[in-house]
Amino acid sequence: MDHVSEEQLVLLYYGEPGVEETRAHVEACAACRTDYQAVQRLLNTMDAGAIPERDADYGQRVWASVSARARVRRYAWRTFGALAAGLLVGIALHFSVSTEPTEPVTAQADEQSGRVLEAALESHLESSRLVLTEIVNNPGDGWSRESAEDLLADNRLYRQTAEATGQTETERLLEDLEEVLVEVAHAPAGSEELRRRIETKGVLFAIQVRTTREGIL
């Protein structure tokens, strides 16, 4: 074997696949061993670069900022979802009160609104599940209550849409969820009773069953 190239020495240093022949050569050849030691010295020295240090609280600050931004984005999506649901209520009501609906158009509208409702509902149920789980785990958290108020307003629109489009099963789930959200939005912070009610009502389980069945989670 000829002497090995610098590229091969770099691959050997990093233990990339296919370096066995290079390793054997370096062990046997003094000139290549010297070259390899130079590569080792260089790359071992690379950790000396001065990176500005972050203090011990850095992670907490990052998380505070990330969680706030995540909440804003979730809220924005929920608002979008609620607007979509409101629009659907309008469409559904329009078709239900129309005096001479043509059958194919109604069927098509029902199908389309059903699909859009499913998509918007996915985000709503996921947000509700997160909030209720948080309340069950940390009953004293004020943020959960505030979110529950937002969710409650959205939930009413989704329930009305489900009712108007004849999705009975979804409507029933949203009715149960609404009852829980009303209690959450008005219960005192840290209510142990509230946690028990959520668990007893089984709404978390119902959401889980539905989202698993629909492939949402």
Partner 1 sequence: MEETDLAAIGRVISGDADAFGLLVERHSRSVFRLAYRITCNESDAEEVVQEAFLRAFREIRRYESRASFSTWVGTIAANCALDVVRKRKRFVSTDEEEGAAPVAVCEAPGPDREANSRRIGELIDKTMGQLSLQERTAFTLRHYEGMPIETISKELGLSENATKQSIFRAVQKLRRVLGPWVGVVVVTLWIM
Residue with the two structure tokens 């505030």: 146
Burial of 212 (0-12, 13-18, 19+ CB in 10 A): exposed
Q: Which of 157, 135, 136, 137 is closest to 146 using CA atoms?
A: 135
Residue with the two structure tokens 């931004």: 69
In order of 15, 167, 214, 217, the CA distances from 209 in angstroms are 48, 17, 9, 10
Based on CB atoms, which residue is closest to partner 1, 15 or 104? 15
The answer to whether residues 43 and 56 touch, using CB atoms and an 8 Å cutoff, is no
Is residue 34 a contact point for partner 1 (CB under 8 A)?
Answer: no
Options 98-106, 109-117, 132-140, 194-202: segment touching partner 1 (CB under 8 A): 132-140
- Roughly how many angstroms between the first and final C-alpha of the chain, as a whole number? 56
Shortest Cβ distance from residue 151 to partner 1 (Å)? 14
Shortest Cβ distance from residue 12 to partner 1 (Å)? 12
Shortest Cβ distance from residue 162 to partner 1 (Å)? 23
The answer to whether residues 165 and 117 touch, using CB atoms and an 8 Å cutoff, is yes
Q: Which of 215, 131, 138, 134 is closest to 177 using CA atoms?
A: 131
> Of 27, 28, 31, 69, which one interacts with partner 1 (CB under 8 A)?
69
Is residue 182 a contact point for partner 1 (CB under 8 A)?
Answer: no
Is residue 213 a contact point for partner 1 (CB under 8 A)?
Answer: no
Is residue 87 a contact point for partner 1 (CB under 8 A)?
Answer: no
Residue with the two structure tokens 């785990």: 137
Widest distance between CA atoms in the chain: 95
Is residue 206 a contact point for partner 1 (CB under 8 A)?
Answer: no
Is residue 39 a contact point for partner 1 (CB under 8 A)?
Answer: yes
Shortest Cβ distance from residue 105 to partner 1 (Å)? 38
Is residue 6 a contact point for partner 1 (CB under 8 A)?
Answer: yes
Is residue 48 a contact point for partner 1 (CB under 8 A)?
Answer: yes
Where on the chain is the footprint of partner 1 (CB under 8 A)? 6-7, 10-11, 14, 16-17, 38-39, 41-43, 45-46, 48-52, 54, 58-60, 62-63, 65-67, 69-70, 73, 129-130, 133-134, 137-138, 217
